Amino acid sequence: MSKLVGRLTLFGAPLLVGALFIVLFTVLFATKPEPERAEVEPRPSAVFVAQAEAEPVQLVVRTQGEVRPLTEIDLTAQVAGRIDYVAPNFVQGGFFRAGETLVRLEDADYRLAVTRAEALVAQRRQQLTREEAEAELAAEEWESLGEGEASPLTLRVPQLEEARAQLAAAEASLAEARLNLSRTRISAPFDGRVRAKLADLGQYVGPGTRIGRVFSTGKAEIRLPLSDSELETLGMPLAFQASEEVDGPDVTLSAVLAGERREWQGEVVRTDSAIDPQTRTLYAIVEVDDPYGSAAEAAGAPLAMGLFVEAAIEGRAIERAYVLPRSALRGENEIYVANRDGTLSIRTAEVIDANSDEVVLASGVQEGEHVVISPIRAAAEGMRITPLGPDGEPLDGFGPSEPEDESQSDTTGEDAATVARAG
């Protein structure tokens, strides 16, 4: 019997302890206090703002283009011959003056042709003089011996006209010989630079052979693509042509050369004859006077051909508009305005112009209001915001009216209770 009791005690004690632990855990879990739920108000979103101020605005259209010479030609030989002289500055990139001899062909044959033509002219002039004398003598003889009206042949009129025609032909041959002689000297009719040299000393060339390619340094032109909205910003018609009475818009061209930004001044002189069918844009032609002279002195560097430049074209003038950072515009025409009570207002604005840096508004905001210029997530009408200035500090005068000081309320309540107990 004692052995049975011992076995029950050995196996029953752990079971009893486990059962008591389960009961105790269940009671504690059922009687634990419920946690208090605290309602937390969402914190206002901090946003950077810019103040809207109305001011006169000069609209600007920004585009890009490549600098090209206004005049560029191929130098070609008009007569045949071997090149016996090449100017030292007739090299790629060389400068030259108008009329300067760049290439000269052997001219011995052409000088001989001039000499022969001069001799022929002298011979024909002598023949004409003799025929004029014989015609005069024939007229005198007819007046002395003849009767009635003399025939042209009697007065030697055909012979005289033939002599005159032969002299004119000889003089034309002389002029042609002299012209061919002058064409042995190849030059350009303008001041310019050499783009390419295609022939050299000792080379034989024929009529039409390309000697080189040159361009004028008098004017440079830049073709700038403009969209329909940019044309409207400029207030320029499709078929624009500058004249003495109508000036074209001023253009500021800029590019980085030798690590420094340079600027050149130009003018829109005309628009292209047709809209580009591929890009659907119309090109405006800008001209810059003396790109290697006065324009280079003003900019500190020449406006080199082939340079890719940025262009700022002066557009229409607006008497009153709001200029804000580009980040103020949301979508096509929405802006976010910070209200004085610390809430957000979403408005539709009338956009006059917009580029990568600025946006120009005609309406949608009032003078002195603050427009949000920083990103904001899940923007909604009336959401709480904290406007920040440029220094990152909250702006004064924004947010709900300040509540009554809680510390003063608590103190007043304690004092009232003390007075009541004393009474």
According to DSSP, residue 48 is labeled E
Mean pLDDT of 191-215: 95
Residue 399 is predicted with a pLDDT of 76
What confidence tier does 419 reach under pLDDT thresholds 50, 70, 90? Answer: very low
Above 60 in pLDDT, residue 11?
Answer: no
pLDDT(334) > 80:
yes
The three-point CA angle 216-219-223 to 5° equals 110
List 81's β-bridge partners, or say none: 205
- Alpha-carbon gap, residue 125 to 393, rounded angstroms: 103
Segment 173-191, tens digit of pLDDT: 999 999 999 999 999 999 9
CATH no. for 221-318: 2.40.30
When the pLDDT of each residue in the chain is averaged and rounded to a whole number, the result is 86
Q: What percent of the chain has pLDDT over 90?
A: 57
pLDDT of residue 26: 73
Task: Give the DSSP per-residue string, 239-290.
Answer: T-B--SSSPPPEEEEEEEETTEEEEEEEEEEEE-SS--TTT--EEEEEEEE-
List of residues 6+ apart from 67 with CB closer than 8 A: 220, 221, 222, 253, 288, 291, 303, 304, 305, 306, 307, 308, 309
Predicted pLDDT at 146: 64
How many CB atoms sit inside 10 A of residue 100's CB? Answer: 15
Confidence of residue 415 (pLDDT cuts 50, 70, 90): very low
pLDDT band at 150 (very low <50, low <70, confident <90, very high): confident
Cα atoms in the Cβ-side hemisphere of radius 13 Å centred on 303 = 33
For residues 184-200, average pLDDT: 95
Query: Do 221-318 and 319-388 have matching folds?
Result: no
418, pLDDT greater than 70? no
Q: Judge whether residue 412 has pLDDT over 90.
A: no
Contacts of 77 (CB under 8 A, 6+ apart): 105, 183, 186, 205, 206, 207, 208, 209, 211
Q: Which of 294, 247, 289 is nearest to 269 (CA)?
A: 247
207: its two tokens = 């009529």
- What confidence tens digit (pLDDT) does each residue in 379-402 have? 889 999 999 988 888 888 887 755
Look at domain 319-388 and name its CATH class: mainly beta
pLDDT at 411: 38
Amino acid at 249: P
- Say whether pLDDT at 329 is over 70: yes
Out of 10-19, 73-82, 124-133, 258-267, least confident range:
10-19
Q: Indicate if the pLDDT at residue 409 is higher than 50.
A: no
Q: What is the mean pLDDT of residues 9-33?
A: 66
pLDDT at 373 over 90: yes
SS3 50: strand
As a whole number, mean pLDDT of residues 60-82 equals 95
- % of residues, the chain, pLDDT over 70: 84
**What is the pLDDT confidence band of residue 74, given thresholds at 50, 70 and 90?**
very high
Structural domain spans, the chain: 72-215, 221-318, 319-388
Mean pLDDT lowest among 135-149, 182-196, 330-344, 357-371: 135-149
- pLDDT category of residue 282 using cuts at 50, 70 and 90: very high
Higher pLDDT, 118 or 30: 118
| pLDDT of the residue at 185 | 96
pLDDT value, residue 32: 65
The mean pLDDT value for 115-126 works out to 94
User: How many CB atoms neighbour CB 380 within 10 A?
Assistant: 9
The pLDDT of 374-382, averaged and rounded, is: 89
